[in-house]
Amino acid sequence: MVKINEKAFNEIVEKYHLNIKNNEYFIEALTHSSYANEHSLKSNERIEFLGDAVLGLLVAEYLYESFPNIHEGKMTKIRASYVCEDANAGYCRKMGIDKLILLGHGEELSGGRSRPAVLNDAFEAFLGAVYLSGGLIEVKKILAKVVFPEISENDAKPFVDYKSQLQEYIQAESRVSLKYRLDDVQGPPHKRIFTISAVHDGISLGTGVGSSKKDAEQMAAKEALEKMVKK
């Protein structure tokens, strides 16, 4: 019978005061496809699909209730910033879900436990399991501590999506796609500082620094737009 790390699982349950059980939903949620293939089990892909929908719904509800003066387009952009692969991978690490993921031997050896796509899926699948076991109210307990504070802290001010603005400008002027290049990473694992450049046709248009890749990309896009205005 497959078992997950009970000690680590119970720590999450206690930390977030969850009224749930360690049942088959969580085994499914934490089973990566590589482990599922090796042991003839059901992977977390279906329950991740459910968790993704639950996460999107509750973040949308939070934005609607917390930011009454912002329009639908801005809410969509804010949600996209905080419900995405990089963000979800960070939430997964913060909760300690990464320690619970059941990975196949090859996936483990190749660094799958730190891969953003794997962590993103595990986080959403875990939320799906919480929903099936305890309902929306239990999922909200997690988001209230892990996701919502990030949005409150960073988006109380008007949200400007510089990346989208720059993308629209580039698409109107050129067929060459815009790319973001990681130039430097400094600091300890829990406090990284990223330096990223917005690059078009081999030319750096702007460089940004931030505590996450998405923040650094936004700052790079902002600098690029400011340079274009000056020209």
Positions annotated as catalytic residues are 52, 124
Residues 97, 16: Cα–Cα separation, whole Å: 13
Residues 153, 166: Cα–Cα separation, whole Å: 25
Residues 57, 207: Cα–Cα separation, whole Å: 34
Residues 137, 191: Cα–Cα separation, whole Å: 31
What number of CA atoms fall less than 13 Å from residue 15's CA on the CB side? 15
